[in-house]
Amino acid sequence: MSRAETTAMLSKLVEKRLKNQTAFWASEVNFDRNTPEERRVDYVGFTPWNINGEPVPASVEKGCFEFYEVKSCMADFTSGNGLTFYGDSNFLVCTKELCDEIVWRKMVPPR
């Protein structure tokens, strides 16, 4: 499978999860625009905080942001792009083979 095909397959899986489990989501989200720290996150999901299934005034403030970074290969992982973990929950999405290599090389990103 090519790098583009792997990225498309992983992205499709993330989108399926977000559509089924998250109230709001977007792809290719930019943060810190027009600064030297500008970053892009592949996917961001947001789930408002609710009590008994009902939104409350604090729903937005106490909601949960999930960040997803899709990496298709080691070159993508080490490129310096992505790995932006600003969310309340952060996920690195990759193939099992890449995961095994990242763990074996002790390159797991902090937090």
Report CA 111 to chain centroid distance, whole Å.
13
pTM of the model: 0.86
The two tokens of residue 98 are 């890449």
Phi, psi of 27, deg, nearest 5: -110, 160
The answer to whether residues 19 and 47 touch, using CB atoms and an 8 Å cutoff, is no
Rounded-to-integer distance, Cα 29 and Cα 110, Å? 21
3-104 classified as CATH 3.40.1000: no
pLDDT of residue 81: 77
The answer to whether residues 5 and 89 touch, using CB atoms and an 8 Å cutoff, is no
Q: What is the dihedral of CA 23, 24, 26, 30, to 10 degrees?
A: -130
pLDDT of residue 28: 93
Helix (H) or strand (E) holding 27: strand 24-31
Question: In a structure prediction context, what are the per-residue pLDDT tens digits for the chain, which is 111 residues long?
Answer: 888 999 999 999 999 999 999 889 999 999 888 888 888 899 999 988 877 777 777 777 788 999 999 999 999 999 877 788 888 999 999 999 999 999 999 988 776
pLDDT of residue 65: 93
